[in-house]
Each structure stands twice: as C-alpha cells, then as structure tokens.
C-alpha cells in the first residue's frame, strides 16, 4: 500500500526548505548602496561601530563628550551634562537619554544609547555600503538551515515508516529507496551550499579596518573642530578602552564597570529567552526588527567595547583584526561579547546585511 507517491509530501517540504535556505543565504550578501572603501577617511563613530558595534560607539561618544567638557563622569559612574550643545545625533541621543534631570547612571545610559535610533542608523549605513552584515539576515539564515535539517529528518523518517509498514505482500509495491536517497543527497548538498556565514563584518569591512590600522589613526570627521586628542579617540574607536589608554583611570574604570553591567544583563536576558521556548523575543533584549529596524544591531553576540559589536560575531585581540558575536548582546568591554576590553573586527551582531 505504500508507493513512491508517499514521498511527494516530504519532497515538497524539502524543496521548500532548500529554496528558503538558498534565498536567505543569498540575502546576507546583498548590498543596497555599494561604494568604494573610504580608506582612512571613515568618520569617527562609523569606525567605532564597524570595529566594536553599538557599545564601542557609546564609549567613544562619551569619552569625546568628556574631553570636550560636555559631560562630567564621576567615580561612581554618574554622568552629568554641563549644558553644552550636542555635537551630533549620537550626542543628542545621550542628552535625550539623560533627560531633564541632567544626570544618569553610566550603565543605564549605555543600555539606552546603544539602542537609540542614532546609533542603530550607523549600523544600517555601514550595512548599506557592504561593510557589515545585518544581524536579522544572519538569524533568518540560521533559522532556514534548521528548517532544512527538519525537512531532511522528515524524508528519512518517511523512508523508515514506508519500509516498516509495507511488508511487500502480493499486490503491494515496495517503495524504491533511491527516491528518499536522492532527496537526502539533494538536501545535504544544499546544506553545504548554504553554510552559515561567520562574522558580522564582511570582507570589505575587514579591508576597511586594515586600511585604518598600522600607524595611529586620527579621524578627519566626527570631532569638534577645537577638540584635541584625535589620536586617542581614533585608538578608542578601533581598539576599545584598553587600546586607548585613557589617562583618567577613574573614567576608564567606570566605563568598564558599565560595560560589565550591560553584559551581565544581556546574559541574564539570553538565559531567560533560551529557557522560555514560547518567548518571541531575541536573546538580545532588543527587538530583532526588519532590515534597518530599531535595535536590530543589539544583542546577538557582540559586546560593548568589544570588537564584535551587537550583531553577529565576536572575538578578541586588542587590535582591529578580523576573525561575530551575535550579536550581538551589546555590552561588555571585551572584544568578543565576553571578556577583555580589547577589540577585534571579527565576526556579528550584533550583529549581528551585506557583501559576503
């Protein structure tokens, strides 16, 4: 009673899963506004996002505000605004996050500003140029591969069930095992062809960071005209707090503590999300959103000052080398959504949408 037509439904499921996996994998490398690399002329906060994600942008912006006397940061980590006008959209996001009281804890401020539209738009801009991969596209590709594995299991199970239930009695036609065999072969071939992309930074983004490495990098845009210390901010943007070597040890300690606090929150949210299978939130405490959606660059496997940066990959040397995190959570001062205040241009978030 079991004929080869029994494999029609599993074959259709497998074909649909394979097509979805191929499409999502292709979308990862789609670049909206491909341009040539800007060499060493990348703006300060763009370089910070590329190298370390939203957390690195926050660190760089706050140190810039501190150096330009727009903000005062106490030993306890309280940020107090001095009343000076914000320099750009990220500074404005800091002002908005601080609110009318004029002061706010560094940890809470970091969490809010990283997820602000001004910071998230930097990631969108870099992704549109083909320097970063969008974290939501990486997540969709991983989901598609899981569906493909599920379809392969359905095909294998159908073959076993067909053999068990069809005893080959007179008048019964045994199913040909070459049918599920070919389906499995095609499915595994698709799995190989849609291997997951590792790293939130594209090859073009890695080349961009290499152009800015080597000799000390001083940004030619993204700094107030009369602000000295461009080399320090450049080192902070590319390498994190450890590479910058701030003279103010209290400021560095407060910022590292805020980054550690953000990472602890991210890990707690991630654990809760993985423990609740019915939860629709991502493991990042940020909405995943659609392309360019708010907070889509936060919380996959990146961490604050790290070289991974909310959205897809991470790693960890104190140089801006390429190796993430999903991920994207944003928040530690490590280069890998984890542990050191060094940086790596590795792998997303964060995070977590461009040329592969």
Residue 353 and residue 266 share a domain: yes
Residue 80 and residue 55 share a domain: yes
Residue 100 and residue 207 share a domain: yes
Residue 110 resides in a domain: yes
What is the distance between the alpha carbons of residues 94 and 98, in angstroms, rounded to a whole number?
6
Residue 77 resides in a domain: yes
Instruction: Give the pLDDT of residue 255.
Output: 82
pLDDT band at 171 (very low <50, low <70, confident <90, very high): low
Residue 155 and residue 90 share a domain: no
What is the distance between the alpha carbons of residues 237 and 243, in angstroms, rounded to a whole number?
9
Instruction: Give the pLDDT of residue 43.
Output: 92
Residue 307 resides in a domain: yes
Least confident residue range of 63-72, 96-105, 134-143 = 134-143
pLDDT band at 74 (very low <50, low <70, confident <90, very high): confident
Q: What is the dihedral of CA 314, 96, 294, 244, to 10 degrees?
A: -20
From the list 346, 287, 283, the residue with the least C-alpha distance to 312 is 346
Instruction: Give the pLDDT of residue 307.
Output: 37
Instruction: Give the pLDDT of residue 317.
Output: 34
Instruction: Give the pLDDT of residue 355.
Output: 37
Instruction: End-to-end CA distance of the chain: give it in Å, rounded.
Output: 49
- Which residues lie below 8 Å from residue 226, measured CB to CB, with a gap of 6+? none
Residue 35 resides in a domain: no
CB of 85 within 8 A of CB of 79?
A: no
Residue 44 resides in a domain: yes
What is the distance between the alpha carbons of residues 53 and 39, in angstroms, rounded to a whole number?
19
The mean pLDDT of 14-26, rounded to a whole number, is 88
Residue 176 and residue 59 share a domain: no
Q: What percentage of residues in the chain have a pLDDT greater than 90?
A: 18
What is the distance between the alpha carbons of residues 332 and 344, in angstroms, rounded to a whole number?
13
Residue 184 and residue 304 share a domain: no
Residue 223 resides in a domain: no
What is the distance between the alpha carbons of residues 228 and 20, in angstroms, rounded to a whole number?
52
pLDDT above 50 (res 295): yes
From the list 235, 32, 24, the residue with the least C-alpha distance to 132 is 32
Residue 143 and residue 234 share a domain: no
What predicted TM-score, i.e. pTM, was given to this entire model? 0.70
Residue 68 and residue 23 share a domain: no
Residue pLDDT, tens place only, 222-256: 888 778 778 889 889 998 888 777 877 888 888 88
Cα 182 from chain centroid? 37
The mean pLDDT of 322-344, rounded to a whole number, is 36
Residue 306 and residue 189 share a domain: no
Give whole-number Cα distances, 196 to 21, 114, 125, 200, 290, in Å.
10, 26, 23, 11, 19
Instruction: Give the pLDDT of residue 324.
Output: 35
DSSP secondary structure, 26-87, as one string: HHHT--SS-----TT---HHHHHHHHHHHHHHHHHHHHHHHHTTSEEE-TT-EEEE-SPPPS
From the list 269, 272, 273, 271, the residue with the least C-alpha distance to 115 is 269
Residue 224 resides in a domain: no
What is the distance between the alpha carbons of residues 40 and 318, in angstroms, rounded to a whole number?
19
Pairing type for strands 71-73 and 78-81 reads antiparallel
What is the distance between the alpha carbons of residues 239 and 156, in angstroms, rounded to a whole number?
49
Mean pLDDT of the chain: 74
Instruction: Give the pLDDT of residue 7.
Output: 79
Residue 245 and residue 160 share a domain: no
CA atoms 73, 76, 78, 81: torsion sign: negative
pLDDT above 80 (res 115): yes
What is the distance between the alpha carbons of residues 139 and 50, in angstroms, rounded to a whole number?
19
Domain that holds residue 9: 4-30+134-193
Residue 159 and residue 114 share a domain: no
Helix (H/G/I), strand (E/B), else coil: 225: coil
Q: Which residues pair with 103 in a beta bridge?
A: 80
- What phi, psi does 39 have (nearest 5°)? 65, -130
Residue 153 resides in a domain: yes
Residue 152 and residue 122 share a domain: no
Number of domains in the chain: 2
CB burial of 263-299 (b: ≥16 within 10 Å; e: otherwise) equals bebbbebbeebeeeeeeeebbbbbbbbeebebbbbbb
pLDDT above 70 (res 296): yes
């Amino acid at each position: 009673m079991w004929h080869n037509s029994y494999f029609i439904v599993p074959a259709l499921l497998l074909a649909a899963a394979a097509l979805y996996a191929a499409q999502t994998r292709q979308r990862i490398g789609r670049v909206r506004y491909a341009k040539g690399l800007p060499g060493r002329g990348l703006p300060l906060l763009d370089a910070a996002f590329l190298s370390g994600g939203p957390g690195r942008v926050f660190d760089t912006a706050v140190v810039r505000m501190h150096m330009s006397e727009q903000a005062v940061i106490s030993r306890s980590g309280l940020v107090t605004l001095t009343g000076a006008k914000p320099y750009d959209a990220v500074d404005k996001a800091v002002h908005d996050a601080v609110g009318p009281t004029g002061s706010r804890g560094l940890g809470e401020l970091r969490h809010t500003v990283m997820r602000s539209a001004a910071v998230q738009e930097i990631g969108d801009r870099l992704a549109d140029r083909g320097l970063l991969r969008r974290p939501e596209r990486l997540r969709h590709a991983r989901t598609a591969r899981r569906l493909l594995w599920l379809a392969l299991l359905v095909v294998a199970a159908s073959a076993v069930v067909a053999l068990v239930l069809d005893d080959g009695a007179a008048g019964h036609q045994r199913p040909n095992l070459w049918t599920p065999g070919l389906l499995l072969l095609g499915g595994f071939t698709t799995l190989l062809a849609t291997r997951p992309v590792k790293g939130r930074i594209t090859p073009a983004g890695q080349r961009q960071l290499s152009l800015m490495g080597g000799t000390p990098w001083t940004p030619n845009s993204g700094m107030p005209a009369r602000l000295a210390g461009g080399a320090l901010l450049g080192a902070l943007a590319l390498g994190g707090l450890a590479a910058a070597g701030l003279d103010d040890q209290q400021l560095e300690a407060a910022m590292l503590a805020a980054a550690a606090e953000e990472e602890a929150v991210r890990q707690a949210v991630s654990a809760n999300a993985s423990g609740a299978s019915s939860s629709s939130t991502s493991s990042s405490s940020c909405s995943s959103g659609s392309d360019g959606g708010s907070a889509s660059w936060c919380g996959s496997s990146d961490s604050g000052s790290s070289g991974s940066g909310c959205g897809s990959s991470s790693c960890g040397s104190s140089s801006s080398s390429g190796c993430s995190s999903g991920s994207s959570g944003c928040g530690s001062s490590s280069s890998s959504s984890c542990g050191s205040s060094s940086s790596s241009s590795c792998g997303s978030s964060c995070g977590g949408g461009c040329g592969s």
